[in-house]
Every structure is written in structure tokens, then in C-alpha cells.
A and B are shown apart, each in its own frame.
Chain A
Amino acid sequence: MDDCEVRTLADLRDVLQAAVELELATIPPYLCAWWTVRDRTCEVALMLQDVAIAEMRHLAIAANTLIAVGGTPEIRAAFPAYPTHIRNVGTVEVSLLPFGRRFLEQSRRIERPETKGAEPGTPTTSRVRLLAMGDRFSTIGAFYRCVLEGLDRLVVELGEPAVFPDGGRIERQLGYFGAQRIDVACRARARALLDDVVDEGEGDDCGVRDRYGALAHFYTFDQMCRGRRYGPEDKAGRPCGDELAVPEGEEQVAPMLPNATQLLYLPPRSALWDDSVAFNDLLTDVVDTLDAGFKGDPAKVQAAFGLMLQLREAADRLLARPLPDHPGQVAGPTFELSCAPR
């Protein structure tokens, strides 16, 4: 059992900021993989898109919960440089990869269920050094259970009004993500939404689906690994549904250079350099707008979603550019923020 050391409101806010960082860190890798699939209408591409959007919702839920307990989400400051590690869940290195075997293994590690639901042979990795809070949790689910345990403890000790000041300050939160209500005013709402976050990642009570019947992220990636869908009654690790056409090869997947950085695209003012700068400028706009949005101006979060739609086109320009120094590979988005808020 992983330890829970959430004993003060400051601890709670700290772990919820870590949750924001965790969810934020997973979005660029999922976007990269989605964008590298050439046929964006194929089933796998749509699954990747669904997972990326779910992670955005998880980010918003984590941020809303942090706001509800009196904290202030830091989005810009939390934006990672890739490759990165997820704080608190130290076994996972997160890279920007094209869709393919390496990406799927990484994704299964990120979304790995906590205990019995994992199929035999689920990949484990060597533990790596963690950032600020140390390597404490074996899975994201375990991490969130710590958050919930701490939340419960503090509500018992301090009372709900103290933990959720001003009714959770829901006017500062993003109320709806699409048609789903995600604002957090009390412990029950926080628990329900964070439970959903865990379930969507690793399944309901270690089943392969969440409580609404949707396949958990881990098993979404798992079926891509196996090239076979999970049927309604299938058990973890044993999908028996139809075959799943998984894109592979350069004709179906853009061979993006992993973890590229802007410096790889020298010289400055070349078309490649400019395209990458344009992507990163837009990304910076998105992140800064999100940052402002979760600091009390939730309408800006909607504006950030509008900007996000433009990222894909900017990424496509990069993915169309071969890299002379890396034969057989193409450029990709580097997800590097401009130095100062724009």
C-alpha cells in the first residue's frame, strides 16, 4: 500500500498541483501519437484523440479540485520539457513518440492499473529518481487514492467549509467540459470526479471498463498492442473481440523523430525552424491562456480549447518536413514554451 502523507491543506494543494502536472504531462505525448497517424479518421486515431481529450478533462478536474480547496493551479510553471517523468509516479518516463510499439508501451505504463486487473506480463520499469516529492506511488491510481484519502482525512479533521472555502469557489472553475459537469464544490463531488479519473485510466474496480462501460485507457492501448478489440465481457489481458487494424509503417504513421527539440531544427529562419517556432508560439498561447483560465477566468479555458484546434495544423506542417540529418524521419512538434509569458 502506498503511503498517504497528506496531513495539511498545504499538502492537499501540493498533491493536487502534482495531479495537474501529471495530467498535463500526458497530453502532448497522446497528441503527438494521434497526429502521426496519417488517416485521422481511422479507429485507432479516433481512440487516441478520445484519450487525449479525456486527459484534458482530467486536467480540468484536477485544476478545479485544486481551486475548490483554495489553491491556484500553475499550468505554465508545470509544463514539462520532454522527455519527462511524472512527479510522484516515478516509474514512468514520458517521451514524445510517433504512434507505434514504443508509444503503446509507454502509454500502458502511464495508465497501468494498480493491482489484479493488470494482465500477466504488464511491463514494469526500473524506478527512476523523482522530482520534488519522491518516488512514492506505483501507479496513477494509487496516487489519486492518496489524494482522496487525504481529502477525506482533512474534511473529517477540519470540516468541509474549511477544506472547500467559499463553497469551492466554483465561479473560478470550468463548469462544463463539453456536456459533462466538472465543477467541484464539496468532498462528494471531488471524490466522484476523481474516482472517474482513476476509472477512466485503469478501469472500474480493476475491470477493463469504467462504470459507464467505456474501455479504460490502459485497455484501449492494450488492444492496440494486441490488434484485437475487447468485447463487452472480456477479461483483462484477454481481448476476444474483432481484429483491430493498427496503423504501422511509414505509409500509415509519420516517422516522427522522438523527443525533438528546437535546436535540432537549425538554422534559424529556415522553413523548418519557423514552423517549429510557430507551433511553439501557438502552444505558448494555449498554455498561457489555460494558465489564466484556471487562475480565475474560466471562460479563457474555452478560448484555450479554441486555440488548441489550431495546434494540429501547425503540427502537420512539421510532420510533412523530412529531416536531412535523420534519414527516414520527419520533424515533429517539440512542445517547448517560449521563455516568458506572451
Chain B
Amino acid sequence: MSVLSVPRIYFKGQASWNPATANNNDQWMTFDTVKAELDWGFLGSQHPPISAENAGARFPLWARTLQHYSGPDGRWYQPPAEWNYYGGNEVALHTRRTQTMVTGAQLTYGGTDRADGDPLIGSYVEIVGDPYPGTTFPTAARLVDVNPNSFWSTCLLLRSLQIGDERSPTAFLHADVAPGAYMGSQWLNLRRNLNADHQLEIAGVGGSVMQACMPKGDSLRFGRMCDRSPSLQGLAAALRRPGVKGLMVRLSAYMTRYFTAEEFADCKGKTEKYTRLVQLWDADLHSGRAPTQNPAVSSVVGTIGLWCDGELASSAGGRYLAPMARIAMSLPEGQTADAALGPAVAEVHQEEAVLSLDMGGTVPECDSSGRKVDLGPLEVVVVEGSGRATTVATLAPEDYDRARYEKRAGIVDVDLRDDDVPKIVNGTLRLVARASEAVVALEEMSVTAEAESRCVWVEEGEVVGLRVHVRQNGALPTDTVHVRLAQYLPDPPPPCPNPQSWVLASRETAVLAFLGAPDDVVTLAEPGDGSVEIRFRSLRPGFATIAFFPHRDGPPPPVPPPSRVLPMLLDQTHRVTMTSASFCSVRAMPFDNDLPRRFARQWEERPDPSAAWDFVYKNVLALYQLLYPAMLHFGGLDLGDRRAVERNINRILELTCEVEPTSTVRMPVTRDLSAGKRAVLRLYAQLVRSDWQLTALELVPGL
């Protein structure tokens, strides 16, 4: 079922992304991402040198000072802290510069959108985060990069989906995601926008798809306004169908714009924009104002529908059509491009003889206007076991152009002839472009494997279990399926500005060790719930990507490409790309387990509160005070102020150690505070609570 079944509620608008960017390392390697420490070696080479002793005074000024930048896109001036030093990693669909609203609803396949008179149309769609412990007031949803120097490892943490109006955000619906669930970025495509007008910068050309599900129960509530909305009542009624577990929201974010505030409207180039930004920061700080935040804004389309048995919560399921070849595309003003389509998923509704395609991330846009590339007719073809191919439908450009895309969030319903239905049920789907010559743009993968969580953190010494869901033509497998696990590392290795590819890990470089997976293969022999658990631990701190290569008995097993897995189909011969691959991003946390013992030993040898504070500040807090100043300016807590830290030590422990790791109020937002550093904070709290009277500290077993 999923959002490809009906009923569906469509929405459209913009998302605001407010990441902290001083950890980006694009040119200035401020951050040792592997150790999760400031890169003192690099900082010490700056003029004047920045050291642990003077960083509190020198780093913030250095980080927001314009410096010469030289990159593949040209040269300009920008500050090392980049475009959003004071970001707090919030994500919102409604801000001063963004709005996202319900645009339509569909209760039957091929039915007319329900719009007239339904107050749901035009209502606000929002995602929000968890309340602070002991409260009920929601905070913002947050985005986190498992690897802060990557573009493929973003996850979006949230608590609830809400539909309401501007005065009552839950007037129609409030639904919580399952505890521990979040949205993972899927089908990231850096050729999503072909940028023919060169107006998009940074990651503006990219697009990705995200999904979350909200189970039925007390935390899924329809509001009072639901009574007036036939569409929402239809959705509420459908929730009572057998096999329906709850609601699913899937959204596509694309065409990200930066420097969207009015203050930058007259800025011509990058140097002008960054100069204006630094001027704003300086003026704000000089006058005691909160420093300017500079969130990026993406276009968003999405669908809310049903979540059913057997469907993953955080990844789009169904029959998966992967990119197979590049297509020559015509762009405005005689330009051309050679690009692959993004993936798609399909579901066949046999009773209704309808094939639904989710093309939310499939067809690229030409430029910053949002216009879709005209690929001419796209044929939906089914290939039967005999090899016979039948065109079951042809999509005209108006079926996937911008207007239709924004209206239906990229979902295309195709009416089938009755005799084509069994062919599709048993065959293999293709999407064939025929603008000039016939090109198989997308082809169905007969077996797929998707991780339940696309973003995972593993501590030193910890064994993590991860469920991988296997499907055969979108359903529970009927054959034995093996999943080859391939471990990739960023290329070049960290710390590195924006690594552009993956390289297969060797025995010497592997970050993870798989457990109970001989030859790095796990097997699903009995369908059961279609899932198999993989287990792993970290060998060293770092960033690994586990890519899944499922295959059945019989055909030769797939060979993971040995190196240079690129974001998209470019010059490589292998068809696996970051866009099409099924993978899970893993952060092997810094190996800090010895840190608490060092702290305890220091205290026992020298019970000096100032020295203890110095240890905690330099080893734990300085990074977050300096690299993420949102905490000071918007959270009201100066992590460099011993008195403030000690006054709030219980709160700090609560947010760093006690709330769920997937909570949006978990600190630090970056999720890179290791178990060892958290243990140091606990020891420090013991000292503070005892008024520095303890002579020996109680170490947590294992640390």
C-alpha cells in the first residue's frame, strides 16, 4: 500500500534548513571529524595561531572573518565558518520564509482531487521535534549528518507530523513517529537539477527523498477540524482497514536556495553575499543582538498516506526501479545535458488495474525555475520471464512536468489493461525514454535490501544490530536471498572537504567488523517478516557506509564495485551509485573510553576543581562552545562558563546522556559526543554535587 495507495493527501511548499556550518571543512580544516575534536594542528598554523588556551577568544573571530577561498567553482572570499555559523540544525516547514500546505487529496485512483470546500486544502503541514523532558511543548525537528563532511548521510530527527492552521497547528491532525524512528535521506541525487541557468549553488542542485511513519494509537489524533474535512475523514476511515499500521509521510526536498533573506537580495556574487553576512554578524554582535542565522530553503513536495504491514518506516518500499543509463536531455537556450534519472518505486493495485509510480525524485529540473526536463514520452514497459516486453503505458510530458509533479508530489497513476496486470505482477518493470533513441532509463531490481535505519552510531566496544529488510519484486521474498555487505569509506579519507566518492574498505582500512556474517554475507532462508539482522562493531573511529547487495541463489552474485562509487552515473562503468545504492551510514564514534579514567586519576592525584574544569572544558565542551555557538546565542548556555555549566549540570547530563539518542532535544545535536566523554561529564557532575568533597570517583563499569 504505502503512499502509493489511496487515500493520499498531497502537500507542497518549502523547508527551512538551519544547519551549523563551521564543521564543514570545505577549505579550512577546523574539525577533526574522526576524533570529534577541533583540529588543533590546523588551527595552530593560522595567523595568529589558535591553541586550546586562546581558542575561546581567537576562534570565533577567526571563524567569522572573510578569507580567500579557492575551489573548483572559482575563487571568492568567505569566512571559515561558512554560510551559517550560528545555525542550530533546526528543520521547519513553516518559518518567515517558508510555508508548506496541503494542496490536494485523492480518495480513489483516477478520482478527482478533493479540493472544493474541504478546509484541509490550504492547511499547514509541519514536522516538529520532541519536548524537553518534563514538558509537552514541541521543539523544532533537527537534521544531523552522520558524517559531517558528507552529503549522503543526512538524517532528519522529528517527533510529530502536524496538520492544522496558522493559529492551531494540530487542528486537523497530530501524529507521532514511533519511538526511535527518524527520516533518512534516500536517493540523494546531485543531478536532480541540471542548473542550466547556473543560479543554484552549494548543494542546491541536489535532491533527496525522506520518509517517516506514525503508528496508530493514542499518539495519532485527528483534531476537531477533521469533522469538516471529507478527505481527512477518508484517511481516518482507511486507517481502520486490516493491515494498516498507521500513517506514512514521504517528501521530496530539492532545489535548495541559500542566502534567501532580503538582506542578500542585491548581492551579486559569492564574495558579496559572504561579505554582507559577515557584516550582519558583526553588527549584531556589536549591538548585542542575536547573530543572524542564514537557513537554506528547499522546495518540498510530499504525500501523506497509509503505512501497512511489511512496509519500512524510514525508507520508500515497493518495486524499486534503479537508474540504468544516462539520457541526452535538452535544456533551455540550446543547452544539453547527459544525466540519469533518479530512482522510482512502483506498486500495482490489481483490483483496480492501476500502476502507481512514485517519481518524486525521478525527473530532473532544468534550472532554478523548477521546470522539469522534457524527456518526451516515457514508456512503462514490462518484461516477462520469456523476455517479451510489453509497453503497458506511455507517460506524456504533461504527466511528469512541473505542474503535475507539484500537484501530485511526483506520484503518477497509470490505468492498466486487465490483461497487462498479471504480466506486471510477474514481470520486470522498466521506464524507457524515447526522445531520440530508446533508452532503458530505469529498470526494476528483482531483489532489494533496505536497512531499517539509514543512520547508525556505534560506540567503542559496542555491538550494534541492524535489521535489513529484503524484498522480492516489492513483496516478501519467496526465494532464499543472500545479502552481501560491502563496507565503503569516504574517498579521500577524513578529514577532507566533501569527499566525492566511496572506496571499498580493505582489511587494513575497515572501520567496522561484521559479526556472524561469513564472507560478509547474511542469508534470509525463510521469508518470515522478510528481515535479517546484521551485527557489527567498530575497529577504529571513522565513517563507514554499509552498502547492501542482495541476490538470489543461482545467478552469479553481484560484485560490489571496488572503488570510486560516485554520486551519480558519470564515467563509471558500474551502475551502482550513491543515488541508487541501498546503504546505511555508520559513524564509529571516537575511541574515548580511556578518558574518564584519565579524569578520575587526575582528580585523585590533584583534587583541584579548576584543573577538573579545565579537563572537562578542553576535552569535552570546547568543541561545542566554539564550533556550534547557537548554544550560547539561542540556547542561553555558555559552555565556556564554568559557573553556568555547574549550575546546569543536571540538565546537561539529562540532555546528553538520558534522553533517547533519537530525541530532537538530545545534545549535542551532532551526536558525536562519545560514551567516554559522556562518562567524563557524569564524573564531573559527581564532583559538583558533592561540592568537590569526593576523593575518589565512581567509574561506570566498562569505561
Contacts and interface: CB of A to CB of B under 8 A. Distances in A.
Q: Do chains A and B interact in one complex? A: yes
A309 B655 CA distance: 12
Interface string B93-129: 0111000000000000000000000000000101010
Interface in A42-59: 45-46, 49-50, 53
Contacts of A193: 167
Contacts of B169: 178-180
A307 B636 contact: yes
Contacts of A46: 135-136
B110 to A, nearest CB: 34
B634 A302 contact: yes
A144 B137 CA distance: 25
A285 B650 CA distance: 20
A306 B167 contact: no
Contacts of B224: 211-213
Most buried by A among B167, B168, B289, B647: B167
B647 A278 contact: yes
Given A299-B634, A306-B634, A292 B136 contact: no
Contact of B138 (A179, A211, A313): A179
A309 B169 CA distance: 23
A300 B170 CA distance: 26
B561 interface: no
B96 A175 contact: yes
A252 interface: no
Given A299-B289, A302-B290, A179 B636 contact: no
A53 B137 contact: yes
Nearest to A271: B691
A310 interface: yes
Interface in A224-272: none
A50 B636 contact: no
B136 A306 contact: no
Contacts of A309: 132, 636, 651
Contacts of A40: 134
A299 B648 contact: no
Interface string A290-320: 0011000101101110111110111000000
Nearest to A214: B168
Interface residues of A, number: 40
B334 interface: no
A41 interface: yes
Nearest to A170: B96
Contacts, number: 99
B135 A49 contact: yes
A131 interface: no
B162 A192 contact: no
B580 to A, nearest CB: 35
Given A285-B636, A309-B636, A310-B636, A297 B96 contact: no
Most buried by B among A176, A193, A308, A309: A309
B678 interface: no
A289 B635 CA distance: 12
B648 A310 contact: yes
A52 to B, nearest CB: 10
B636 A41 contact: no
Interface in A70-95: none
A152 interface: no
Given A285-B636, A313-B650, A212 B168 contact: yes
A249 B124 CA distance: 44
Interface in B126-172: 126, 128, 132, 134-138, 162, 164, 166-171
Contact of B94 (A170, A181, A306, A310): A181
Where chain B touches its partner, the secondary structure class is loop
Nearest to A46: B136
Nearest to A180: B169
A196 interface: yes
B71 interface: no
Most buried by A among B95, B128, B171, B289: B289
Contacts of B636: 285, 289, 303-304, 306-310
Given A213-B223, A213-B224, A180 B136 contact: no
Contacts of A307: 636
B576 to A, nearest CB: 40
Where chain A touches its partner, the secondary structure class is helix
Contacts of B171: 212
Contacts of B136: 46, 49-50, 53
Contact of A292 (B126, B138, B288, B293): B288
A45 B166 CA distance: 27
A179 B647 contact: no
A175 B134 contact: no
A300 B290 contact: yes
A299 B137 contact: no
B122 to A, nearest CB: 14
Given A278-B647, A306-B637, A179 B223 contact: no
B349 interface: no
A179 B132 CA distance: 15
B309 to A, nearest CB: 31
Nearest to A53: B137
A123 B691 CA distance: 48
A192 B167 contact: yes
A307 to B, nearest CB: 3
Contacts of A212: 168, 170-171, 223-225
B413 to A, nearest CB: 32
Interface string B57-92: 000000000000000000000000000000000001
A131 B325 CA distance: 78
A196 to B, nearest CB: 6
A170 B96 CA distance: 9
Most buried by A among B136, B288, B290, B648: B290
A11 B333 CA distance: 60
Contacts of A170: 96
B290 A303 contact: yes
Given A313-B647, A313-B648, A314-B647, A176 B290 contact: no
Interface in B464-510: none
B647 A310 contact: yes
A178 B90 CA distance: 12
B633 interface: yes
A244 B83 CA distance: 51
Contacts of A312: 134
A53 B95 CA distance: 20
A181 B637 contact: no
Contacts of A211: 168, 224
Interface in B613-637: 633-637
A293 B290 CA distance: 9
Query: 5 nearest interchain CB pairs?
Result: A307-B636, A299-B290, A306-B636, A179-B169, A181-B166
Interface of A: 40-41, 45-46, 49-50, 53, 170, 175-176, 178-181, 183, 192-193, 196, 211-213, 278, 285, 289, 292-293, 297, 299-300, 302-304, 306-310, 312-314
18 contacts: A41-B134, A49-B137, A50-B137, A178-B137, A179-B92, A180-B166, A181-B166, A181-B167, A212-B224, A297-B289, A299-B289, A299-B633, A299-B634, A300-B289, A303-B635, A313-B647, A313-B650, A314-B647
Given A176-B92, A299-B293, 15 more contacts: A49-B137, A176-B95, A179-B94, A179-B162, A211-B224, A212-B224, A212-B225, A213-B223, A292-B289, A299-B290, A299-B634, A300-B290, A306-B634, A307-B636, A309-B132
Interface of B: 92, 94-96, 124, 126, 128, 132, 134-138, 162, 164, 166-171, 223-225, 288-291, 293, 633-637, 647-648, 650-651
